[in-house]
Amino acid sequence: MSDTSASFDYRSMFNLDGRVALVVGAGSGIGQASAQGLAAHGATVLCADVNLANATATATRIQQDGGSALGGQASALLLDMRTSSQIAKGLQDAPPIDILVSTPSINVRKPMLSLTDDEFDRIVNLNLRGTFLLLRHVAKGMAERGRGSIIVFSSIRADVVEQGQSIYAATKAGVRQMCRALAAELAPNGVRVNLIAPGVVDTPLTKPITSTPAWNEAYATKSALKRWAQPSEMAGAVVYLASDASSYVTGSVIFVDGGWTAVDGRYDPPL
């Protein structure tokens, strides 16, 4: 194979001009930061969330800052990924999607033997089943068009666990393997599928931890960087996986965990 690197335009690797990105969970936290990061690099972003008001706030911020660092165009839509009909309804007027970012998940922090049937179902129905439904709906169009980048948020909990994380961790490990299989299945169609595994990120969902001083400090000092991540620190990996900079990357997991999984240690959280 001939070397074409000399003629490659390295400056355009992260350019997302003309691409449509669907960010599910864009109303807050990592999803919001992902939407802003993609917009900053030229993507038109569909800010989807089960909370339409929050999704609208994210889209409005991107629109208002369109001439500054954020750049790009954005709109909001209501999307509940827990049912196929709600996904279809939310995306019925959406343009063809080039980039999908899926961030939503929930946990019920309890010992496994104390979890109820309903709590088990709540976790699995969103984290695993909901991700499956979303992927099935969006990836079909990508495969038909012969292009696309799918980015799903897993977690370090697919690798390392602690008390109160049993079913959550199981769903994150399940999502990882599901996406790897999808990456193999869609590669012939020009669609890439990758995952991001964050460590501890300061978002509204982690407020119960950050508001407990001992727990907050233990998590902050567990990683090599000795601090929590901010949602904006997840956006770089999202933009990379969405762009041509990662054109030979599929079926991979990018750890954005500050070295958490490289450093041993433990803390017994209150349950």
First to last CA, the chain: 57
H or E element in which residue 89 lies: helix 84-90
**The pairing of beta strand 148-153 with beta strand 191-198:** parallel
What CA–CA distances, in Å, run from 173 to 34, 139, 214?
Answer: 22, 20, 28
Q: Are 243 and 13 in contact (CB under 8 A)?
A: yes
Q: Are 41 and 239 in contact (CB under 8 A)?
A: yes
Residue among 168, 240, 248, 267 flagged as catalytic: 168
168 a catalytic residue: yes
Quick one: how far is CA 143 from the chain centroid? 20
**The pairing of beta strand 73-78 with beta strand 99-102:** unpaired
Q: Are 128 and 174 in contact (CB under 8 A)?
A: yes
Active-site residue list:
168
